[in-house]
Amino acid sequence: MEHPDSPMPHAAQPSTAAAAHANTTNSPFPTAAAAVATPTISSLTPAQGSAEGGNTVTLTGTGFTSATSVRFGTTAAAFITVSDTQVTAIAPAAPAGPLSVTITTSGGTSAGITYTYVAAPVLGSVAPAQGPLPGQNTVALSGTGFTGTTSVHFGANAAIAFTLVSPTQLTAVVPTGGPGPVAVTVTTPGGTSTQAVSYYYLGAPVLNSIAPGSGQLSGNNSVTLIGANLLQATAVRFGPTSAAPSAILSATEIRATVPPGVSGTVPVSVTTPGGTSNTVTYLYLGVPVITGLVSDQGPSAGGDSVTVTGSGLTYATAVLFGSVPAGFTVVSDTQLTTTAPPGVLGAVTVRVVTPGGTSIGAAYTRVGPPAI
């Protein structure tokens, strides 16, 4: 039996945490969304490119997840969001010079970062514009927009090396190539030059013969050289001495004036931008010397045999009695035999002629028949 004054039991009260949860879940107002940070761009790779656009640029930074646009200046670019910290974009075309690149997300638009548009290089000339098939020679390239050059090509082959001298000049080491012309191009972040500038690969010259093959020590006589690839000849070398070609007649024939030399043989070669030829032999000859005639007299009717002694007679081209040539046979460098031609009574000078010059004369006397 319950007592009327017995106290009534109290109902359980909710905990403070549970009350807070109940107040939150049962609130008739929506919870506020978390704020999205403004994106930031820390770098562009690359930070420059062709004014024609079309190259891929990687933007690195933060807050890229909800990107809605990437702009180069005021021009929107196609892009792909790779992650919250990376976006790749295709640079649109723009005039040469710097532009500010920005990215926009639901959090706003980033501060700009500079991207530089570069005009394509212009190649004006290559000097020298020709060289040997093996390459290895250095040429100078002139033009504009060479800053930042990444490659120089000779046809399909990259230069062995190149050096930026200034925005208007490069030097390059030519690679190996085949005979004939190739296009030379320069590539920079602004693109590749398109001008029709050619470099010619030349085959090395070849020598087959030289005529005449001998001459006087004083030189100054003309010789003809026969061979191949001689059209661009720049020098003809006689032993250690170089001479300029006096006439380039064709790709197979040139002429040169022989420089002075010393007695004996020397190698002769021709140099062109394609290289240096094989050698042929040229003989420098001293003036012949006559030391005696046996006999030194004979009938005015001629016909008698005369032995000429001396030195330098091997290359005799003529024996003269006065101004009259006579038949002869070379026996050795110190002796030849000749047949005296007819002539008037009295003394006549005998001389020997070689490519080395004409000897000092020796006297031969024509005599009449004995008196009866």
Query: Residue 263, preceding bond cis, omega within 30 degrees?
Result: no
Integer Cα distance of 143 and 167 in angstroms: 8
Residue 77 burial by CB count (10 A; 0-12/13-18/19+): exposed, middle or buried?
A: buried
List pLDDT tens digits, range 272-306: 999 999 999 999 999 999 999 999 999 999 999 99
List pLDDT tens digits, range 135-152: 999 999 999 999 999 999
> Amino acid identity of 155?
G
Taking a C-beta distance cutoff of 8 angstroms, is the pair 215, 285 a contact? yes
Taking a C-beta distance cutoff of 8 angstroms, is the pair 146, 188 a contact? yes
Integer Cα distance of 133 and 28 in angstroms: 88
φ/ψ of 22, rounded to 5, equals -60, -40
Taking a C-beta distance cutoff of 8 angstroms, is the pair 229, 272 a contact? yes
Is 18 a residue whose pLDDT tops 50?
no
Query: Strand, coil or helix: what is 87?
Result: strand
Q: Is the pTM of this model over 0.75?
A: no
Provide the β-strand partners of residue 313.
none
Is 64 a residue whose pLDDT tops 90?
yes
Binned at pLDDT 50, 70 and 90, residue 372 comes out as low
Query: Strand, coil or helix: what is 208?
Result: strand
Integer Cα distance of 22 and 70 in angstroms: 45
Mean pLDDT rounded to a whole number for the chain: 91
List pLDDT tens digits, range 251-262: 999 999 999 999
Is 16 a residue whose pLDDT tops 50?
no
Q: What is the pLDDT of residue 17?
A: 37
Q: How distant, in Å, are the alpha carbons of 132, 335, 338, 352 from that of 330?
A: 46, 7, 9, 11
List pLDDT tens digits, range 86-104: 999 999 999 999 999 999 9
Is 264 a residue whose pLDDT tops 60?
yes
Q: What is the pLDDT of residue 6?
A: 36
Q: What is the pLDDT of residue 135?
A: 95
Q: Which residues contact 15 (CB under 8 A, 6 or more apart)?
A: none
Report which of 192, 147, 139, 183 is spatially closest to residue 166, judged by C-alpha positions: 147
Q: What is the pLDDT of residue 36?
A: 85
